[in-house]
Chain A
Amino acid sequence: MAENRMNPDRAGAAQGRALAGDVLVPGSARAEKFALDKPLSFWGGYDSEAGRIIDPTHPQTGLSLAGKIMVMAHAKGSSSSSSVLAEAIRNGTGPVGIVLKERDLIISIGAIVAAELYGLAVPVVCLDASAFDRVMAAPGMLRIEAAEENRAARIYLE
């Protein structure tokens, strides 16, 4: 940890498994990856009590994001999704970290408010296309280190 903080770029490049991105919402997480095959609207698409995808047209319907790091290329759908995400985070039925390819306000605000209201920090990071594709392709666990808004995020493929 300390070494990475001192020189994160080189540490990552040397190991070939750390990627840099933008911090949309700070925090840290280490969990199994859940890559969404299609964009998901949390509102109308995710049950924040049961913690599962309920959109019947979504290819991963019935599956849970609880405790996972959600990887999603871009968001879609209703602006109510911020609330559903915040509620899922409050209930512990939501993702513990989020990796995006496009900056998404609605997802980010859900995580910001969960942090403001409940002190539950779910990091949201945004990666460029090539880094995002590497995350999508990587097997195993992910780790997100996104301590501060104005510094780069680190995503480790473990």
Chain B
Amino acid sequence: MLQLSERDQAMLAGEFGRGAARAMQIVARTAHVMSAPNLIDICSAHIDGCLYHGQASLDFVELFVEAGARVAVSTTLNVGSLDLIHPELYHGDRAVQSAAQRLMQAHLLLGCESSFTCAPYQLKNRPAKGEQIAWAESNAIVFANSVLGARTSRYGDFLDLAAAITGRAPYAGLHVEENRAGRIVLRVEAFAHRTSRDIYFAALGLLVGKIAGAVVPAITGLPDDTSEDEFKALGAAAASSGAVALFHAVGITPEAPTLDAALQGQAPLKTVDVALADLDEVRQTLNQGREGDELVAVALGTPHFSLAEFQRLAKILDAYEGAPKSDFYINTSRFILWELGERGLARAFEERGIQIVVDTCTYITPVMKKLSGLVMTNSGKWASYAPANIGVTVAYGSMDECVRSAFEGKVRFHG
């Protein structure tokens, strides 16, 4: 049975306002679903509810705006349905555009930061190891838990905002130490030497999600120099094919100095070997493009491109002359765009004919000029969701392959 603190009860009774009372009601009902014994304080929240899914999205937030509620902790916002910096890119339904904009702005009225990114872990004030947080957005959740060692359950729309307004979350799931133990072990055959290293992380992520479901996996065999961007790709893919909210990379991530530490001293439920052939098979399953096929566009930056990825892309682009033959989109946050601007890089990409999209993502909203045909990406998440969301067919390749294909206007694999 859930035990609420005196303050929680006062909030529930309306002593902190009508909005806080409604928010506490939702947190308490969620705590019941999770069999939580009590609620805990959180340090930050990340909100996914600013992405428009219909009238229910607006009805929920406007209820809090009308009640004069404010978030109680530092709260970042996930992507919305629009690029507010480049509104002209949107070519969908005008009524949806207006509702989507209202939804994004309503969150600002509640005191949320105008971050509009699915990669809040790229912002300066990211959570520290051991901090209790309430984050939504599956890729942000898995990154915060796995790579930062912060603690959040797999929250979604509604509860994220309710937690931000109350500053409280159910003490259950991945907030609790023992639930963070790895329960299955995945032994991955070394792939660091492969040329298309980046998509192996995404392919592995998709496989991890399929094998693990919602169970915490401990992964061995990843390269010691695995970057945050590679973990980002792995986690995002694992959270789209399964309900993975935490993985341990043994010897690399903060709660996994050793396999034994990752498993918290218990024997695993099972151990699965992952061979390179398995990863190649995932690559083939995702890829609908054949060598030489006409390519409409390339879409990178799902989750949002980091500064390091822009720098890597700039180097790859040096090998090519002129503008790409296919449209070229990169999703990132407005903060990274500003940083690029300060370094003179934003203009350089623009001059190469590359469209940077901020505040949103090319697979959730109609911003790409052509929404049929073949689009190439290096993102396992984009490849998983784009066909159903926006109706394109996906070619799946590494960043190198995406760039080469864009310049030739045809799918090109390095093999």
**B-binding residues in A (CB < 8 A):** 24-25, 41, 43-45, 48-49, 54-56, 74-84, 86-87, 90-91, 102-103, 105-106, 108-110, 112-114, 116-117, 124, 149-150
Contact = CB atoms under 8 A, between A and B. Distances in A.
A50 to B, nearest CB: 12
B241 A113 contact: no
Contacts of A150: 1, 32
Interface in B108-165: 136-138, 141, 153-160
23 contacts: A24-B32, A44-B384, A44-B385, A44-B388, A48-B54, A76-B243, A77-B138, A77-B243, A79-B137, A79-B156, A79-B157, A83-B49, A83-B57, A87-B54, A103-B33, A105-B30, A105-B159, A112-B26, A113-B26, A113-B60, A113-B158, A114-B56, A150-B32
Nearest to A126: B33
Contact of B22 (A41, A102, A109, A116): A116
Contacts of A24: 32-33
Indicate the member of A48, A74, A83 with the most B CB atoms within 10 Å.
A83
Nearest to B1: A150
B207 to A, nearest CB: 14
Nearest to A22: B35
B30 A117 contact: no
A-B pairs, 4 with minimum CB distance? A79-B156, A87-B54, A83-B53, A82-B156
A82 B29 CA distance: 14
Interface of B: 1, 22, 25-26, 29-30, 32-35, 48-49, 51, 53-57, 59-60, 63, 136-138, 141, 153-160, 173, 209, 213-214, 239-243, 384-385, 387-389
Given A79-B136, A105-B34, A54 B388 contact: yes
Given A106-B154, A109-B159, A112-B29, A87 B57 contact: yes
Contacts of B49: 83
B271 to A, nearest CB: 22
B214 A74 contact: yes
Contacts of A103: 33-35
A106 to B, nearest CB: 4
B30 A109 contact: yes
Contacts, number: 129
A56 B388 contact: yes
Nearest to A79: B156
Nearest to A44: B385
B327 to A, nearest CB: 22
Nearest to B25: A116
Contacts of B242: 76
A110 B284 CA distance: 35
B53 A108 contact: no
Contact of B243 (A45, A54, A74): A74
Given A24-B33, A80-B53, A116 B26 contact: yes
A105 B153 contact: yes
Indicate the member of A44, A75, A84 with the most B CB atoms within 10 Å.
A44
Contacts of A116: 22, 25-26
Contacts of A106: 154, 156
B56 A87 contact: yes
Given A44-B389, A82-B156, A109-B158, A117 B56 contact: yes
Contacts of B1: 150
Contacts of B32: 24, 149-150
Contact of A90 (B56, B157, B384): B56
